[in-house]
Amino acid sequence: MRRLNGYTFVLGCLLTLCLFEAQAGKLLESIQQRGQLICGVNTGLPGFSQADNQGRWSGLDIDLCKAVAAAILKDPNKVKYVPLNAQQRFTALQSGEVDLLSRNTTWTLSRDASLGIVFSVVTFYDGQGFMVTKKSQIKNARQLKNATVCVQSGTTTEKNLSDFSKKYQLNIKPVVFEKLEAANTAYFSGRCQAYTTDASGLASIRAKEAPDPNQHVLLPELISKEPLGPAIRRGDDEFFSILKWTFYALLEAEEYGITQENVEKMKQSPEPTIKRIIGSSEDMGKMLGLDKDWANRAIKAVGNYGEIFDRNVGAQSSIKLPRGLNNLWNKGGLQYAPPIR
């Protein structure tokens, strides 16, 4: 009887594995058959996700979508961008309206565990801050006692503001808006004494939306941790692996000096890790359900992570954020990719 139970157990495990294999990879298959990746993105946050007057999208979150499309579909332009506000984003992902949510979204326990979605990587380490006018003479966040503060609804920002106000008994009065554009307008028209969101977002809004950016300052405190990253629906391990390893390939490319410009020349490198990343030796793509050039195409499409950062929010952008925590691990930052091997 003991042996029978053992066989029953093994048979049950095999059936479970077969069921898993039958279900895994459905999203990848759907994207390939459709010939298009559908990405949920911000309605307009310069540096992260913004469309120009000809409908061309750009930003750090957009570049991740392009990299994934290049890896899967061999073309970074085969992406449909679906602009979503903060309240729409999770419903759009849960319902299947979008394949991938790449929309400056904070990874939290409640979101990761209760919404039927899963976060994969941290593409940007951030924290919540405050912006005020220079003429207000406010120097730190604890001077915001009884102040009106513009904030977007349906965000971790709104909850963090409430916690911060209660912790220091500041009686802050939130002025809540559903849409980012409405919050921007309200702050710059003087309806609120301060504006709060992720510090990167504040820098972006100041650079792009302020009539005179020099008249607005970001206070020094960060009142939260905001690890931002993409999310997908639960239940598709194959697409989950493609998403995270595409991002890790962009990080590894920066670490090993592979750029958008030199990626083809790097095929001649004797360095084993470089050869694995760009597909000139071992075929690392077959384990992801892709071909051996998947990472090569992603890097060629958008550059390595450092290039993506600098172009969109760093030194080459109008926002000019320092790398800070978003530097590579060997340069004092937190960005660290597991080995591609």
Q: Which of 13-27, 130-144, 206-220, 234-248 has the lowest mean pLDDT?
A: 13-27
Q: Is the pLDDT of residue 252 over 90?
A: yes
Residue 2 confidence (pLDDT) = 42
Residue 182 parent element (H or E)? helix 180-188
Q: Is the pLDDT of residue 19 over 70?
A: no
Considering the chain, what is the average pLDDT of its residues?
Answer: 92
What is the topology classification, in CATH, of domain 24-125+228-331?
Answer: D-Maltodextrin-Binding Protein; domain 2 (3.40.190)
Q: Is the pLDDT of residue 22 over 90?
A: no
Answer yes or no: are the C-beta atoms of 206 and 199 closer than 8 Å: no
Q: What ranges do the domains of the chain cover?
A: 24-125+228-331, 128-224
- At 39, give phi and psi (nearest 5°): -110, 125
Q: Is the pLDDT of residue 325 over 90?
A: yes
Rg for the chain, CA atoms, rounded: 22
Residue 18 confidence (pLDDT) = 38
Residue partners of 74: CB distance under 8 A and separation at least 6: 297
Quick count: other Cβ atoms within 10 Å of Cβ 138?
A: 18
- Label residue 248 by pLDDT band (50, 70, 90): very high
User: Which regions of 6-127 does DSSP assign to beta strands (E)?
Assistant: 37-42, 50-51, 57-58, 79-84, 100-101, 117-119, 124-126
Taking each helix axis from N to C terminus, what angle separates 60-73 and 237-255, rounded to the nearest 10 degrees? 110
Taking each helix axis from N to C terminus, what angle separates 199-209 and 180-188, rounded to the nearest 10 degrees? 60
Taking only the tens place, the pLDDT of each residue in 50-61 is: 999 999 999 999
Would you state the torsion angle of the CA atoms of residues 162, 166, 170, 172, taken in this order, to the nearest 10 degrees?
Answer: 20
**Overall average pLDDT of the 273-277 stretch:** 96
Judge whether 24-125+228-331 and 128-224 match in fold. Answer: yes
Residue 186 confidence (pLDDT) = 97
Residue 10 confidence (pLDDT) = 41
**Overall average pLDDT of the 173-178 stretch:** 96
Taking only the tens place, the pLDDT of each residue in 28-42 is: 999 999 999 999 999
- The residue among 218, 226, 196 whose CA lies nearest residue 326 is 226
Question: pTM for the whole thing?
Answer: 0.88
**Overall average pLDDT of the 44-52 stretch:** 95
| 27 vs 2, higher pLDDT | 27
3-state helix, strand, coil split of the chain in percent (to 5) is 45, 15, 35
CA 279, CA 284: separation in Å to the nearest integer? 7
Residue 25 confidence (pLDDT) = 64
- Label residue 81 by pLDDT band (50, 70, 90): very high
Q: Is the pLDDT of residue 263 over 70?
A: yes
| 9 vs 132, higher pLDDT | 132
Residue 154 confidence (pLDDT) = 86
Q: Is the pLDDT of residue 16 over 80?
A: no
- Label residue 3 by pLDDT band (50, 70, 90): very low
Q: Is the pLDDT of residue 189 over 90?
A: yes
Both structure tokens of 283: 């075929």
Residue 11 confidence (pLDDT) = 43
CA 10, CA 324: separation in Å to the nearest integer? 50
Q: Is the pLDDT of residue 89 over 80?
A: yes
Residue 291 confidence (pLDDT) = 97
How far, rounded to the nearest angstrom, does the alpha carbon of residue 106 sit from its chain's CA centroid?
Answer: 8
Helix or strand or coil: residue 131?
strand
| Percent of the residues in the chain that have a pLDDT greater than 90, as a whole number | 91
What is the topology classification, in CATH, of domain 128-224?
Answer: D-Maltodextrin-Binding Protein; domain 2 (3.40.190)
